[in-house]
Structure 1
Amino acid sequence: MPNITRRTVLHAGLSLPIATLPALNALAAGPYDEAQLQPGPLPQIEDGSFTVAVLPDTQNYCERAPDGFYQQTKWLVEQKKQRNIQAVLHLGDITNRNTTEQWQVAQKAMRQLDGHLPYFFVPGNHDYSNGGGARDRTSLLDNYFPVSHYRDLPTFGGTYDREPESMLNSYHLFSVGDRKFLVLGLEFGPRKDVIRWANEIASKHKDREAILITHAYLFHDDQRYDWKQHGDKQRWNPHGYPLAKTGNQDVSDGEELWNGLVSQHENFILTLNGHVLYDGLGRLSSKSPDGNTVHQMLVNFQMKPQGGDGWLRLLEFRKNNTIGITDYSPTREQINASPQNNFTLELT
C-alpha cells in the first residue's frame, strides 16, 4: 500500500447508499457555499516561478456558453508574460455531444492559444460516439485538432505508435530554464497497449519531470478509481461505460494506471484529471516503490453556472521545489481561497 495524504470532502464518511449521494449533493444550497471568494486580480508570481494552466471539462461551454471558453483562452494569452505561463493542459470532455458545432467552438477557443502558448489535451467520455455516449472510441477530435497542426511544433513529441495520425494519445516536451518536462496525454480509460506505449515514452524521457493528464483517474473521495475494489460505487468509472463492455474491458482506471504506469517510473510528479461531479475536487499524494511522491489531482468546474463560470486552475512552479495551486476565474475576476482550491504541494 502506498503512503497517502488525504483530505475530507463533502459526504465523506456518510454511511449512505451511493444512489442517495447525488440527491444530497443537489440539495446543497448553492455552487459557492464552500467557496472563499476573493476579488482579483491575482497576486504576482514569485521571482523565478512559472505557471502551467489547467482547463478542465469545457463541455458545457461548447454546448451552451461558448463565451466562457473564449474568455478563458484569451485571458491566458494576455497573462502569458505576467504569469510566465509555459503550457496549458486540457483534461478532456472538450465537448459535450461530440458534434460538429461543439467541436467548432472548441477549435475557435483553443486556437486563440496558437502562436502564443503550447497546449496539450486529451479526450473525455463525452468526446466519443454519436451524442457523446462513449459507446466506442470514434471521435471527431482529429477532424478539428489534427496531428498535422501540431507535428512541427517544438513541444510536440509524438502520438501512440499504432495510431500515429490521431491526437487521442500524445506526448509533449517543454523546458523552463534547467527544468525539463514530459506531458503524457492519454485517452479516456486507456487501452492496455496504450499503457505499453506510455511506459516506453516515460522510460525514454526518464530525465524529465513527468505529468500525466487523462480524463478519469482520481474520484472525488480522494481515492483513485478502482473498479476491482469499488465497482460502480465510484460512479463514472471507465469500466462502467459501453466502450468498455463492447471492447472486452480493454480500459484502465486510476488504480490500473497507478500500478501499470505511474508508480513504475521515478520521474512522475503529477497526475491531473477532470470528469467527476459532486464537488469536482480531489487530492491524493502517493509514494511509488522507489519513494518518489506523486501528487494526483481531480479538478472539474462544469457544475458551476454558465458552463463553469470561467474557472481555471493555475499551477505556479516555484524555485523552492513547491507548486502553488490557485483557482481563478477571469470572467468573475475572483480567486477561490478555499483550502480545496488554494494550497501548496511539495515535490520530492
Structure 2
Amino acid sequence: MVIRYYILVFIFLNSCSSSKGDSFEFVVLPDTQTLVEEFPEVYMNQLQWIERNKERFSFVLHVGDITQNNSEEEWQVAKSGLSLLNKKVPYNLALGNHDMGSEIGKFADTRNTMLANRFFPHSEYISQSNSIATFPKGSIDNNCAEYDLVGQKWLVFSLEFGPRNKTIEWVNGIIANHPNHKVILNTHSYMYNDNTLQDGNDWYLPQKYGVGKDTGAEAVNDGGQLWEKLVKPNKNIIMVFSGHILGSGVGQLVAKNNYGNTVYQMLANYQKNVKGVEKGDSGYLRIIKVDKKTNTISVKTYSPWLDKFYTNPEHEFTFTNVEI
C-alpha cells in the first residue's frame, strides 16, 4: 500500500510538472495613459494584481502610451506601478506616441523619449526585462528580450511608435541570428479596429505625426509596411500585439507569412473613450495563454479592479491548430 501510495504521488507530481511545462501565460497591458492620468488607483491595482500572481506569468508586455501627457508626474505614477514587478515578473515596454515629444501635450512631434529613458534607465531596465539587446544603443526605445518557455527559445521585441526603417533593419538582423527562436512583436501602432492592418487612409497613422515627416533610415512605418518589411518575410514571427486605436479598441487578424506559417495579430485598447469603457476606469488587461499540448493560444480580458472578465467574442477567444 505504501509503495502504491508513493507511485501515485510521483505520477501526480510528474503530471503537474509536465502540465506546467506544456504552457505559459503572459499579460498584455493595453494603453494605460488615461489610467495614469486620471485613475492611478486603477492602474496601481492592475500592477498589484500581476505582482500577486507573479508565479503565474512569464512576462508582461505594455503596448505603449504608458502616459497621457509625457509629464514627469505621470511617468512617476507609471514607474511606481511597474516597479512592483522588479525582479518578480519581467516587463517589456513599447513606447507610444503619447510617450514622446518635445514638451507636455506634444504627441510624437519629435522622437524625444528623454523622460521614458530617465524614469527607466537603461541599465536598470535591462536587468529586469530579460533584454539581450536595445536600440538605439543605451536607450529603451526598442528592446529585445529572450525567454525559454515550453522547451522553446523565444524572442520578444517591443518597438517604438512608427518603427523606423533602421529599427526594422535592427530587428531583422537579430531574428536572422536566431533562426530557431519563436518571435513575438509588441508595438504601439499596427492594427486597426476593423480587423485589418493600420495603413492607407486609416486614422492615427504614424505618418500623420511630426515623426512621420522623417525620411530615409528615419522614416516611420505603419502596420501595412511593418507586415511587408518585417512580419511577412520572417518565418518564425508567431504573434503581434498593438494598441493605440480607439473606436471598439479591439481587432484580430490571422494571416500567412511568406513561408506559409500563421501569424496571430491582435489589437487591444481599453482607455477612456473606447467603446464600452468610456469612463476609462475599468482597468481591463489581456491574459494570453500559449499551450503546446493543445496547440492553442487563448486570450482572455480581465479587470482586476472590477474582478470581472470581458467575455464578448471580440474580447475572449482562442486560436487553434497553432504550431508552437
TM over 0.5: yes
Q: What TM-score does the superposition give when structure 1 sets the normalisation length?
A: 0.81
| 1:171 aligns to 2:140 (yes or no) | no
Aligned to 1:244: 212
> Contact 1:285/1:295 (CA < 8 Å) preserved in 2?
yes
Deviation per CA, 1:102-156: give whole Å up to 9, x if none. Answer: 0000000111111110000110001111124210000211001111103334722
Aligned to 1:191: 164
Q: Secondary structure of 2:27's match?
A: strand
Aligned to 1:72: 46
Cα distance in 2 for partners of 1:145, 1:215 equals 18
1:263: Cα distance to partner? 1.0
> Contact 1:220/1:282 (CA < 8 Å) preserved in 2?
yes
1:289: Cα distance to partner? 1.4
Where structure 2 has 5 or more consecutive residues not aligned to the other structure, the ranges are 1-17
Residue correspondence of structure 1 range 74-89 to structure 2 within 5 A: 74-81=48-55, 84-89=56-61
> Contact 1:58/1:307 (CA < 8 Å) preserved in 2?
no
Aligned match of 2:303 in 329, 333, 336? Answer: 329
Aligned to 2:235: 266
Cα distance in 1 for partners of 2:215, 2:247 equals 28
Alignment CA distance shift 1:194-1:246 (3 Å) = closer
1:254: Cα distance to partner? 0.6
- The one-letter code of the counterpart of 1:340 is E
Aligned to 2:13: none
Q: Secondary structure of 1:344's match?
A: strand
Q: What TM-score does the superposition give when structure 2 sets the normalisation length?
A: 0.87
Residue correspondence of structure 1 range 277-288 to structure 2 within 5 A: 277-288=246-257
CA-atom RMSD in angstroms: 1.6
> Contact 1:59/1:95 (CA < 8 Å) preserved in 2?
yes
Cα distance in 2 for partners of 1:105, 1:152 equals 21
Residue correspondence of structure 1 range 209-220 to structure 2 within 5 A: 209-220=182-193
| 1:222 aligns to 2:190 (yes or no) | no
Cα distance in 1 for partners of 2:129, 2:88 equals 13
Moved more, 293-302 or 46-55: 46-55
Q: Secondary structure of 1:151's match?
A: helix
Q: As a proportion of its length, which structure holds more helix?
A: 2
- The one-letter code of the counterpart of 2:191 is L
Aligned to 2:67: 95
- The one-letter code of the counterpart of 2:261 is N
Aligned match of 2:99 in 124, 127, 146? Answer: 127
- The one-letter code of the counterpart of 1:296 is Q
Residue correspondence of structure 1 range 144-163 to structure 2 within 5 A: 144-153=119-128, 155-160=130-135, 163=136
Cα distance in 2 for partners of 1:222, 1:154 equals 30
Cα distance in 2 for partners of 1:305, 1:255 equals 28
> Contact 1:147/1:167 (CA < 8 Å) preserved in 2?
yes
> Contact 2:90/2:129 (CA < 8 Å) preserved in 1?
no
1:47: Cα distance to partner? 3.8
Q: Secondary structure of 1:340's match?
A: coil
> Contact 1:125/1:132 (CA < 8 Å) preserved in 2?
no
Cα distance in 2 for partners of 1:132, 1:68 equals 25
Moved more, 213-222 or 175-184: 175-184
| 1:320 aligns to 2:294 (yes or no) | yes
Deviation per CA, 1:276-327: give whole Å up to 9, x if none. Answer: 0001000000101110000100000003255341101000111212111100
Q: Secondary structure of 1:220's match?
A: coil
Residue correspondence of structure 1 range 2-41 to structure 2 within 5 A: none
| 1:109 aligns to 2:81 (yes or no) | yes
> Contact 2:91/2:128 (CA < 8 Å) preserved in 1?
no
Cα distance in 2 for partners of 1:153, 1:54 equals 17
Aligned match of 1:208 in 156, 163, 181? Answer: 181
> Contact 1:128/1:137 (CA < 8 Å) preserved in 2?
yes
Aligned to 1:293: 262
| 1:52 aligns to 2:26 (yes or no) | yes
State the structure with more CA Rg: 2
- The one-letter code of the counterpart of 1:156 is S
1:193: Cα distance to partner? 0.6
Alignment CA distance shift 1:193-1:253 (3 Å) = same
Alignment CA distance shift 1:213-1:247 (3 Å) = same
Deviation per CA, 1:22-49: give whole Å up to 9, x if none. Answer: xxxxxxxxxxxxxxxxxxxxxxxx9433
Cα distance in 2 for partners of 1:132, 1:274 equals 19
- The one-letter code of the counterpart of 1:133 is F
How many aligned positions are there?
294
1:330: Cα distance to partner? 0.6
Cα distance in 1 for partners of 2:172, 2:99 equals 25
Moved more, 210-219 or 307-316: 307-316
